[in-house]
């Protein structure tokens, strides 16, 4: 068996990115500090080039290459483009921030791009091994990114926690995968599904494996009760990295869940099993995430709990067990990633050298200081709370609809009530921005790129909310064509 040219066509984006990371890594060695901007520009160009390649090669067919290790389907194309977008926007937002904190070095960009490559491999994995490899590439880059500010005790502590718990989760996943391998005799996802469908697999071992896999996934998503690392890492990591963790990897984790749970273990006999597990994770995440968020005074920590609750909503879509539900979940995760970008972007906009702007009070009176950014933040907060006409509402609507369609009426009502609890703390930010007088009166400094992009990000929460149809349809069609 040897690889043919046709095997390489679908992995062009990955190859391109890999080559470019190496180029950037080497180029960085030869650049003086005042030429460092080149790395930034080159990284953005790389992402843009990957996006172009992915979009141009996107089709509606599913092609499996590299001896069954890699799959290129509409879902992976759509998610990859979203990942490029999220990473690119994150790079623009964080430019001023990392420069002010001595992190504006080549390592930051190479690590971010390696993490991106990891996500792309995860998204396109057709084999447990490539799935795991992608996950590890992402995680290892992340650990290093969190610890990048090496003089900060907080960052080091959170990197430590992240690493220990992340390694534990990876171990669980691997253990679960090995059991599934034991039960089915294959690591290739379609093969696994086929063996289960044929009844050739040992059901007990399979369910054991499934439990470990779901636990590992729970860790990666940050769903309760596997959420302990999320608040600490969000708070301790530099805001730029927290922004990164909270956005693009969620897209990859979503793909991971689809590949593992739906494509490999989606047989009706197993579906019931993981639906129940996800239901517990979903309710706990929504409840504990939303309720604990109320008590937070640190904005990053509050957003961490908010993320947990959003992951609960995402699970609601995943557990519906229908293609519509997966489409709704995909829409949800895309919308969530994009709102996360905006909110963390706002924190970075208000921060400056020696001031993190990560306490909730730091947003006091923002409407006095800058009505425009207060408005942008207002849109993002209402969007996170799920109030129409912002896009967050349609995300909630579509997963609730999916859950109701699958017959989970009680769960839907619980989710709705918990989102009311959520509205309370998002509203608190709006309240502070609009109803209080500012305590911090320093002028807002940010690069023009970040300003423009942040404005676009906020307005998009409203505009996509007014015309949400196309994005919903896109997610839906991507799912339908891939499964």
Partner 1 sequence: MSAMPLLTLAIWVPILAGALVLATGSDRNASLARTIALLGAIAGFVVTLPLAISFDTAVAGMQFIETTPWIPRYHVNYSLGIDGISLLLIVLNSFTTILVVLAGWKVIESRVAQYFAAFLVMSGLMNGVFAATDALLFYVFFEATLIPMFIVIGVWGGPNRVYAAVKFFLYTLLGSLLMLVALLYLYRASGGSFSLADWRALPLGMTPQVLVFLAFLVAFAVKVPMWPVHTWLPDAHVEAPTGGSVVLAAIALKLGGYGFIRFSLPIAPDASHALSGFMIALSLIAVVYIGLVALVQTDMKKLIAYSSISHMGFVTLGLFLFERLGVEGAVIQMISHGFISGAMFLCVGVMYDRMHSRQIADYGGVVNTMPIFASFLMLFAMANAGLPGTSGFVGEFMVIMAATKVNFWFAFTAATTLIFGAAYTLWMYKRVIFGAVANPHVAELKDLEAREWIFLAVLAIAVLWMGIHPAPFNAVLEAPVADLLQHLSKSKLP
Our finding on whether 443 is near partner 1 (CB under 8 A) is no
Our finding on whether 435 is near partner 1 (CB under 8 A) is yes
Site string for partner 1, 42-71 (x = CB under 8 A): ------------------------------
Which of residues 315 and 374 has its CB atom nearest to partner 1 in the complex? 374
User: Within positions 169 to 198, which residues make up the interface with partner 1, using CB under 8 A?
Assistant: none
Our finding on whether 333 is near partner 1 (CB under 8 A) is no
**Residue 325 beta carbon to partner 1: minimum distance, rounded to whole angstroms:** 13
Q: Which stretch binds partner 1 (CB under 8 A): 139-147, 188-196, 266-274, 401-409?
A: 401-409
Binds partner 1 by CB under 8 A, chosen from 48, 185, 295, 424: 424
**Residue 425 beta carbon to partner 1: minimum distance, rounded to whole angstroms:** 11
Our finding on whether 427 is near partner 1 (CB under 8 A) is yes
Interface size with partner 1, residues (CB under 8 A):
35
The 3 state secondary structure assigned to the chain is CCCCHHHHHHHHHHHHHHHHHHHHHHHHHHCCHHHCHHHHHHHHHHHHHHHHHHHHHCCCCCEEECCCCEEECHHHHHHHHHHHHHHHHHHHHHHHHHHHCCCCCHHHHHHHHHHHHHHHHHHCECEHHHHHHHHHHHHHHHHHHHCCCCCCHHHHHHHHHHHHHHHHHHHHHHHHHHHHHHHHCCCEHHHHHHHHHCCCCCHHHHHHHHHHHHHHHHHHHCCCCCCCHHHHHHHHCCHHHHHHHHCHHHHHHHHHHHHHHHHHCCCHHHHHHHHHHHHHHHHHHHHHHHHHHHCCCEHHHHHHHHHHHHHHHHHHHHCCCCHHHHHHHHHHHHHHHHHHHHHHHHHHHHCECCECCCEHHHHCCHHHHCHHHHHHHHHHHHHHHCCCCCHHHHHHHHHHHHHHHCCCHHHHHHHHHHHHHHHHHHHHHHHHHHHCCCCCCCCCCCCHHHHHHHHHHHHHHHHHHHCCHHHHHHHHHHHHHHC
Q: Which stretch binds partner 1 (CB under 8 A): 117-125, 209-217, 259-267, 430-438?
A: 430-438
User: Within positions 336 to 395, which residues make up the interface with partner 1, using CB under 8 A?
Assistant: 367, 371, 378, 382, 387-389, 393-394
Our finding on whether 442 is near partner 1 (CB under 8 A) is no
Our finding on whether 143 is near partner 1 (CB under 8 A) is no
**Which residues of the shown chain bind partner 1 in the complex (CB under 8 A)?**
367, 371, 378, 382, 387-389, 393-394, 397-398, 400-401, 404-405, 409, 412-413, 416-417, 419-420, 423-424, 427, 430-431, 434-435, 467-469, 472-473, 476
């Amino acid at each position: 068996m040897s690889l043919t040219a046709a095997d390489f066509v679908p992995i062009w984006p990955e190859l391109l990115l890999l080559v470019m990371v190496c180029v950037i890594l080497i180029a960085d060695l030869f650049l003086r500090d005042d030429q460092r901007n080149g790395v930034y520009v080159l990284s953005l160009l790389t992402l843009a080039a990957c996006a172009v390649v992915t979009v141009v090669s996107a089709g509606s067919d599913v092609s499996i290459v590299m001896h069954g290790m890699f799959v290129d389907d509409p879902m992976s194309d759509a998610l990859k483009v979203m990942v490029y977008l999220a990473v690119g926007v994150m790079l623009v937002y964080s430019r001023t921030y990392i420069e002010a904190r001595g992190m504006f070095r080549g390592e930051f960009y190479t690590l971010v791009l390696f993490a991106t490559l990891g996500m792309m491999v995860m998204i396109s994995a057709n084999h447990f091994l490539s799935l795991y490899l992608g996950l590890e590439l992402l995680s290892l880059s992340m650990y290093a990114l969190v610890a990048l500010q090496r003089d900060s005790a907080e960052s080091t502590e959170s990197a430590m926690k992240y690493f220990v718990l992340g390694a534990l989760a990876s171990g669980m996943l691997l253990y679960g995968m090995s059991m599934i391998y034991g039960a089915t005799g294959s690591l290739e996802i379609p093969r696994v599904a086929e063996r289960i469908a044929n009844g050739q697999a040992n059901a007990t071992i399979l369910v054991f494996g499934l439990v470990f896999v779901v636990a590992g996934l729970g860790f990666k998503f940050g769903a309760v009760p596997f959420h302990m690392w999320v608040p600490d890492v969000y708070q301790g990591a530099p805001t730029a990295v927290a922004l990164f963790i909270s956005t693009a990897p969620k897209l990859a984790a979503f793909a991971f869940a689809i590949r593992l749970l739906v494509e490999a273990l989606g047989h009706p006999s197993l579906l019931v099993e993981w639906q129940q597990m996800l239901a517990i994770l979903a309710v706990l995440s929504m409840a504990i995430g939303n309720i604990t968020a109320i008590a937070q005074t640190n904005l990053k920590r509050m957003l961490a709990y908010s993320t947990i609750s959003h992951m609960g909503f995402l699970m609601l879509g995943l557990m519906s067990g229908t293609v519509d539900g997966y489409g709704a979940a995909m829409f949800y995760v895309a919308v969530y990633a994009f709102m996360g970008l905006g909110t963390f972007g706002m924190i970075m906009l208000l921060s400056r050298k020696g001031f993190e702007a990560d306490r909730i009070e730091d947003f006091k009176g923002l409407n006095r200081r800058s009505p425009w950014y207060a408005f942008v933040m207002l849109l993002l907060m209402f969007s996170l709370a799920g109030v129409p006409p912002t896009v967050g509402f349609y995300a909630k609507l579509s997963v609730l609809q999916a859950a109701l369609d699958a017959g989970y009426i009680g769960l839907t009502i619980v989710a709705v009530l918990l989102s009311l609890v959520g509205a309370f703390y998002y509203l608190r930010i709006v309240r502070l921005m609009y109803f209080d007088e500012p305590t911090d009166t320093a002028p807002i400094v940010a690069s023009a790129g970040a300003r423009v992009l942040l404005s676009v990000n906020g307005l998009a929460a409203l505009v996509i909310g007014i015309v949400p149809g196309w994005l919903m349809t896109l997610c839906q069609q991507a799912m339908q064509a891939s499964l």
